[in-house]
Amino acid sequence: MVEQIKAKDAAPGRFYMVGNEMMIFVRTAGEHAFYADEDADIRQRSIEEQITPLPDCTGWDWDPAPKHPPVPEGWRVIDKEKDLPKQASDKFVFGNGWKTVADANGGFDMARYYIRRIEPTYRPFASAEEFRPHRDRWWKYKDDSRETVRQPFAYSDLGHGNETWAQSLGRKVFDEGSPIGVEVKE
């Protein structure tokens, strides 16, 4: 946080927050400080007034506050037009951090920033050789309500059991829940 200073200590040509307005400091004269606003109107204020320097400000289009806190690794900002409806696991800006949507009341506030966990994508195994490191892992069908875990069995370049690798990717998961396939790294 940038410390406030007195107007008499301001540097000409620099941007400052004066009250709740962004202005450029022009000069002092006697007991007065003169500023220019965005419309080039000159404003006169006391040289004793506390003002806030904007050291990284480069122009009138400068935004004094970040739109949102840093996005954690493995998450992305939601495109509000493409990613609706919101999901309970999405998060929104809350203070200086992120809060889970499931913990909040209300609808989707278009003015807020939301993030969503990036779900990994998978492709089918390409061959028996690519599957070999996974050959001892137990598996189950995605739609099995009993979640019966099965022992590994026959595989070849064509697929797993009597299914192609693409069919297995769509229907089976390893016992911890990851798909029978190769995670695609971006």
**pLDDT per residue over 107-164, tens digit each?**
556 556 778 888 889 999 999 999 999 999 999 998 888 878 988 788 999 998 889 9
Dist. CA 83–CA 146, nearest whole Å: 32
Task: Report percent pLDDT > 90 for the chain.
Answer: 20
Task: Tell me what the pLDDT averaged over the chain comes to.
Answer: 83
User: Is 49 in contact with 86 (CB distance < 8 Å)?
Assistant: no
Dist. CA 55–CA 45, nearest whole Å: 21
Mean pLDDT (whole number) for 64-89: 77
pLDDT at 47 over 80: yes
Task: Name the token pair of 84.
Answer: 């609706």
* Residue-range domain boundaries for the chain: 5-53, 75-117, 121-184
Dist. CA 30–CA 8, nearest whole Å: 10
User: Is 82 in contact with 88 (CB distance < 8 Å)?
Assistant: no
pLDDT of residue 25: 84
What's the pTM value of the predicted model, to 2 decimals? 0.47
Mean pLDDT (whole number) for 30-46: 86
pLDDT of residue 157: 92
pLDDT at 183 over 80: yes
